[in-house]
Chain A
Amino acid sequence: MIWQRGDVRAEAASQAIAEELVVHVAALRRYALLLLGDSSDADDAVQETLTRVLARAKSWHTIGDLRPYLFSTLHNVFVDSTRREKRMATDFLSEDILASLVTPPSQQQRIELRDTVMALAKLPNEQREVVLLVGLEGLSYLEAAEALGIPVGTVMSRLSRGREVLRSMTSRETSRKLRVVK
């Protein structure tokens, strides 16, 4: 019967998708954690992302590259949650991120990572997204633009501004530390 064949096809497609999804789950969780700043929120966002993707399993043949598509869905989940909860930058829990580090870094590394996390927390959401997608996940500008649904030029301008803000913050931190040493 037609509906049986369709059901089997959909089931096989879903299983293939589920196997392919698992490869990207770790990257999604990492990105979500640095984007949201809270491990439970990040897990919820990734869960919601995967649920949305699975719900559209029938239209998967139209998707060219899975990775930008997943980040795009996660971006939409993030935007929805931000709108719903009116999340502020102060919600960013850098200590939560530092506590979740699996490999204990050296003291010097830990300080650097903490500075990086705190600087990321102060970035506006749109700049943080671009900096993380390009700098952390290694997406190309085109893939990042596809994931965020913005032009490539916008990606580059946000990236430039975000990096400049990060640079100014980290240099300020360095100079302050130097003064303290003196």
Chain B
Amino acid sequence: MTQDQMRVDDALDNDRLLRFVDGALDDDQRVQVLTALSSRPETVAKVEAYLHQNARLRALGQHLPMHDSRTFRADLQGEIVRRLAGRRTRATAFRYAAAAAVALTVLAGGTALTLDRLTGSGTSLASRASSAPEIYFPFGTTQLAASEPSGTAAPSDATPTDLASITWLAGQVPGLSLSAPELDGIGLHLVRGETLDTNRAPAIRLIYADEVSATGRALCRRRPLERRPRVPSRAQEGHLSLQWRRRPMIFALVAPTDSPQLGDRRAGAARAWQAQPRGHRAGAGRGTGRWRATSSRSPCPRRGYAPSCRKRPSRPRRRRPPRPPATA
């Protein structure tokens, strides 16, 4: 193979031919290719065919509809408007929801749901109430369900459909009575309750609304049977999740954070919480003396919600060896 032939082969390699056809070569390279093509008629036919293909494709593109059909443009415009409107709607809803947050955050100082651990089957409701710790809650409560014994549930003002989830939760945790907050005084009413079956432990969600139908949520679930309980820690963007524990239950209050009065309400709730006796504080948990007394009356066979009542294995005492008698 002569040097000229090698030069021609280099100039007409496949990549370079493609670049030549697509106009991706500079002037010097184009001249080289054109010079090399003069000695290769078969390659000239190939290049002509490629150029002809490009010309045909461009002709095809020119004859295809370049402008949008009316329906397509309308669809596209509608899609854009819908997306923008969706953003505006979310923003407006968020603004209204901030008002609901003010009321719902009050709950953080007390409890959203009040529960009493029932200690004996023969105990009356009144005596159980007197033995249960008082829980600070400024608006009163509605007794929603009692799982045991049957017939001891207090009369309820709420509609049965709203209470189904709470009844269900009470049935999941034996020996528990639940109370839901009455928030009508601050313009919030219970819309509905939902059971959350996907959680590891039984859980419900209570949804409240104000006059403009902005909603807030109160979550309640039983602690999972793990040593390190997983709390519902995730909240929607722009929302605050306040969590606290009460006996075997975990509560979460989820409400929008962007409320100008949220800080005041939270501070007020914290003051109210501090004003309560230590044993009566909501969320004081298993460390309170009253809880210890309650759990001491009922055995706790590793149910998971009161790990402190488990008996720790006592360490065996080491006996000292007797001293040798003193020699005279």
Contacts and interface: CB of A to CB of B under 8 A. Distances in A.
Contacts of B46: 167
A81 interface: no
A102 B49 contact: no
Interface string A5-17: 0010011001100
B64 interface: yes
B63 A156 contact: no
Contact of A132 (B57, B72, B75, B88): B57
Interface string A152-177: 00001001100100110011000000
B15 interface: yes
Given A135-B54, A136-B57, A167-B53, A156 B15 contact: yes
A48 B283 CA distance: 50
B53 to A, nearest CB: 6
9 smallest beta-carbon distances between A and B, as pairs: A135-B57, A101-B63, A167-B49, A136-B57, A116-B56, A26-B66, A30-B64, A18-B80, A135-B54
B59 A113 contact: yes
B84 A14 contact: yes
Pick from B53, B58, B66 the residue with the most CB of A within 10 Å. B53
Interface in B73-130: 73, 75-76, 79-80, 83-84, 87-88, 91, 94
Q: Which size class do B's interface residues fall under?
A: 35 or more
B88 A7 contact: yes
Contacts, number: 111
B79 A140 contact: no
A100 B64 contact: yes
A134 interface: yes
Nearest to A6: B91
A107 interface: no
A62 interface: no
Contacts of B15: 156
B211 interface: no
Interface in A1-54: 1-4, 7, 10-11, 14-15, 18, 25-26, 29-30, 33-34, 43, 46-47, 50-51, 54
A134 B54 CA distance: 9
B162 interface: no
Contacts of A159: 18
Nearest to B46: A167
B79 to A, nearest CB: 6
A134 B22 contact: yes
Q: Is the interface of A mostly helix, strand, loop or mixed?
A: helix
Contacts of A160: 14, 18
B79 A50 contact: yes
Interface in A102-160: 102-103, 105, 109, 112-113, 116-117, 131-132, 134-137, 140-141, 156, 159-160
A97 interface: yes
Given A134-B22, A163-B50, A102 B66 contact: yes
Contacts of B323: none
A47 B84 contact: no
A113 B63 contact: yes
B24 interface: yes
24 contacts: A3-B91, A3-B94, A4-B91, A14-B84, A25-B68, A26-B66, A29-B68, A30-B66, A33-B64, A34-B64, A43-B72, A47-B72, A47-B75, A54-B80, A100-B64, A101-B63, A101-B64, A102-B65, A105-B59, A109-B59, A117-B60, A136-B60, A136-B61, A163-B49
B50 A102 contact: no
A171 B64 contact: no
Nearest to B80: A18
Nearest to B14: A160
B320 interface: no
Nearest to B90: A7
B319 interface: no
A57 to B, nearest CB: 8
A132 B58 CA distance: 10
Nearest to A114: B60
A29 B50 CA distance: 24
A64 to B, nearest CB: 20
B79 A166 contact: no
A29 B238 contact: no
Contacts of B159: none
Given A7-B87, A10-B87, A136-B57, A47 B63 contact: no
Interface string B208-234: 000000000000000000000000000
Contact of B258 (A3, A14, A131): A3
Interface in B1-15: 14-15
B68 to A, nearest CB: 6
